[in-house]
């Protein structure tokens, strides 16, 4: 049976107490139904509620900003004449003035299953604003594209909160955006009027290509499901001066730097005996971002078995290998990064300084995996299981 997203089901399942309500939509380019109609068009025509405003996360409601960490400002939507409020500029949390135009915030965003993907934190800030201004929240649920059955990576230490992690979650959380909303509401905002329009037909072990839904880039550097599969580990490279492949046609699958010998690197990586992956040596030249216009040596990740592949472990292995091979040339990226001006980018991505310290101190990969697996397992058993909506 084809999966139906929350958006595919809104006309039949819209909430009675919000009939006729003024609705603000938090959306982005991938907020489409199975026929590729954008939620903005569907909501504007709906007789169940009245669309009165748009809210946009990082990259905008239609993908206006290509690169990472580029702010954008609000505007008036030409099609509808409605205001579009930016939540990735001088404002990240909706102001009371913005909230005065709506009775409820409807959220329809495709997440990619990693803690540092900022859409879930924009969602949380909107939940805060709705609670403070006595508004309702309705989430149209969507699949976790990399499945809801695999979790991996450390859990965020609250001393390292940032816009790439505001609450305790493992890096690969294995939850849908509504399940994360369910967790946030129950743990932190219990009095919020919170509702989910759930999916029909989605199972936890489904990957996005099992759903028969169309893939639309949720952000400009997330072009394919293959990108999302490697992203929970490869985004860690944003905390280094290594290229994570931005400015190439395969971001996050391609990585490297001008000083790297691909064959030497591959030999080192193969010693880790990582499952479900093959590294292909290559050279590439990014067109923008780190090392733009420079020839970089590195590799492309080819996932051969995504059930066995451990993205976070792979990302750590890559950083560790390059750190150990090129100790005089490897560098951590310095702040600012995602609005953080004090903590190291790698630390807020990893959720603490422990990963960086372990890499610098030569701790073995398997020993590192042991501690983050214990954190991840504890969160899954004690917290995560209470907020899952699907089997």
pLDDT digits (tens, 9 = 90+) for 229-254: 999 999 999 999 999 999 999 999 99
Cα–Cα–Cα angle for 70, 176, 205, nearest 5°?
125
pLDDT tens for the chain, 391 residues: list them: 789 999 999 999 999 999 999 999 999 999 999 999 999 999 999 999 999 999 999 988 876 655 655 677 888 998 899 999 999 988 999 999 999 999 999 999 999 999 999 999 999 999 999 999 999 999 999 999 999 999 999 999 999 999 999 999 999 999 999 999 999 999 999 999 999 999 999 999 999 999 999 999 999 999 999 999 999 999 999 999 999 999 999 999 999 999 999 999 999 999 999 999 999 999 999 999 999 999 999 999 999 999 999 999 999 999 999 999 999 999 999 999 998 999 999 999 999 999 999 999 999 999 999 999 999 999 999 999 999 999 9
3-state secondary structure of 156: coil
Lookup: tokens for 47: 């007789």
Distances in Å between the Cα of 222 and the Cα atoms of 39, 210, 243, 285 are: 20, 18, 16, 19
Residue 342 buriedness (CB in 10 A; 0-12 / 13-18 / 19+)? exposed
Does the model's pTM come out above 0.85? yes
pLDDT at res. 69: 58
pLDDT at res. 18: 98
Residue 95 buriedness (CB in 10 A; 0-12 / 13-18 / 19+)? exposed
Question: Which domains, ranges and CATH numbers included, belong to the chain?
Answer: 7-221 (3.40.50.12170), 225-360 (3.90.1150.140)
């Amino acid at each position: 049976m084809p999966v139906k997203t929350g958006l595919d089901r809104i006309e039949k399942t819209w909430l009675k107490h919000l009939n006729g309500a003024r609705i603000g939509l938090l959306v982005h380019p991938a907020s489409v139904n199975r026929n590729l109609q954008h939620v903005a068009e569907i909501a504007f025509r709906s007789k169940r509620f009245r669309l009165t405003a748009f809210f946009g996360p990082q990259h905008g409601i239609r993908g206006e900003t290509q690169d990472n960490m580029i702010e954008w400002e609000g505007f008036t939507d030409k099609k509808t004449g409605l205001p579009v409020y930016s939540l990735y500029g001088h404002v990240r949390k909706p102001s009371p003035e913005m909230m005065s135009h709506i009775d409820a915030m409807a959220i329809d965003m495709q997440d990619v299953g990693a803690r540092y993907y900022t859409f879930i934190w924009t969602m949380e800030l909107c939940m805060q604003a709705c609670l403070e201004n006595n508004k309702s929240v309705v989430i149209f649920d969507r699949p976790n594209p990399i499945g809801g059955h695999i979790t991996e990576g450390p859990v965020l230490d609250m001393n390292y909160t940032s816009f790439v992690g505001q609450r305790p979650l493992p890096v690969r959380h294995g939850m849908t955006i509504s399940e994360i909303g369910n967790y946030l509401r129950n743990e932190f905002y219990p009095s919020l009027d919170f509702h989910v329009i759930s999916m029909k037909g989605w199972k936890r072990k489904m990957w996005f290509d099992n759903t028969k839904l169309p893939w639309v880039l949720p952000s400009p550097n997330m072009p394919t499901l293959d990108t999302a599969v490697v992203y929970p580990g490869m985004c860690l490279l944003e905390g280094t001066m290594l290229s994570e492949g931005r400015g190439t046609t395969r971001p996050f699958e391609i990585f490297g730097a001008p000083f790297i010998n691909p064959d030497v690197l591959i030999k080192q990586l193969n010693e880790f005996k990582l499952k479900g992956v093959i590294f292909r040596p290559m050279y590439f030249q990014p067109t923008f971002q780190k090392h733009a216009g420079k020839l970089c040596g590195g590799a492309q990740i080819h996932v051969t078995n995504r059930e066995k592949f451990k993205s976070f472990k792979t990302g750590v292995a890559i950083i560790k290998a390059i750190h150990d091979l090129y100790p005089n040339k490897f560098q951590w990226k310095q702040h600012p990064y995602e609005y953080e001006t004090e903590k190291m980018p790698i630390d807020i991505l990893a959720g603490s300084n422990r990963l960086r310290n372990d890499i610098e101190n030569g701790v073995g990969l398997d020993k590192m995996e042991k501690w983050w697996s214990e954190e991840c397992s504890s969160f899954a058993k004690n917290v995560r299981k209470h907020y899952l909506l699907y089997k």
